[in-house]
Amino acid sequence: MFPIHRGRRLRVNESIRSLVRETSLSPADFMFPMFIMEGENTKVEIPSMPGIFRRTLDLTVEEVKELFALGIRAVNIYVKVSDDLKDNTGKEAWNDNGLMQRAIRAIKAACPEMIIMPDVALDPYSIYGHDGIIEKGDVANDATNDALVKMAVSHAQAGADFVAPSDMMDGRVLRLRQGLDAAGFHNVGIMSYSAKYASAFYGPFRDALDSAPKDADVEVPKDKKTYQMDYANRIEAVKEALWDVEEGADMVMVKPGIAYLDIVREVKNAVDVPVTVFHVSGEYAMIKAASERGWLDHDKIMMEQLMCIKRAGASLISTYFAKEAAILLNK
């Protein structure tokens, strides 16, 4: 009761505030999403994501070394697949000499201690831009799971530490765990996108990989709402996360981040595994655009959002700000 209790005593100066601060950030809290393309000694900036590039393998390896030196210990990797390799089966996804498989091997050879979590979904390989195989006008759940197992095992064979299924097919975590174990990869983990919402915040990411749903000469879903979650729902996210843990997920993810912090806390309270949060491309792009116009202080907003994600319950934050934030924290 005031005046005996005065909350401001613990806010008098930065030294006191740092002593009682409940949440902290370090570079080890971050995972950096990376886009990889074919070629050599080339990087292409993504127009809707200033400062983020598609890189060829040689430059990707150099960037990974820089990230590790900054204290970042995980990368989430995606590949830009040539149109002539896309079809409705996704078979390029488990090509032993595919771009993803070569990228995993190259990163592991150059920086063995960097944790690699390759994306497991068919949309970069699909002529229709969907996360699975199209049958009779819809994404075929079980046929897609069969393809995802082949993809995940090929990633494990290349040296991945975790596989990161982002497809939102029912039962895929169990199928992946069974497939990895049968192939002898008992120690390769699964970081499941458990609560992945059908969000408009993904636009810049889809520009980076050309992975948005496409018009086609056959009937296909016009969007991803039959498998990604309705953003009006909260309880469903907890249910999906619990199912994934029961099926063998070692980590679960909530995606997007800032607009879904209530979901992060709900999931954190419900599961007994680490919770990853994806601070997505649209959230990144908004900060970049507003700061370029002088409307927001870039670094302060960046760090505030990352701290809020951690405070909500994230054990790991996948964010395009990882490198910039690590540089600031190291200072």
Q: Of residues 86, 196, 268, 288, which has the active-site annotation?
A: 196
What is the C-alpha separation between 329 and 158, in angstroms, rounded? Answer: 33
Q: Of residues 65, 108, 222, 255, which has the active-site annotation?
A: 255
Residues β-bridged to residue 78: 35
| CA atoms within a 13 Å half-sphere pointing along the CA-CB vector of 318 | 28
DSSP state string for 161-188: SEEEE-S--TTHHHHHHHHHHHTT-TT-
Pairing of strands 138-139, 53-55: unpaired
Secondary-structure percent of the chain, ordered helix, strand, coil, rounded to 5: 45, 20, 35
Sign of CA dihedral 45, 46, 51, 53: negative
Active site residue 288: no
What is the C-alpha separation between 189 and 206, in angstroms, rounded? Answer: 26
Active site residue 255: yes
- How distant is the alpha carbon of residue 202 from its chain centre? 11
Residues labelled as active-site residues: 196, 255
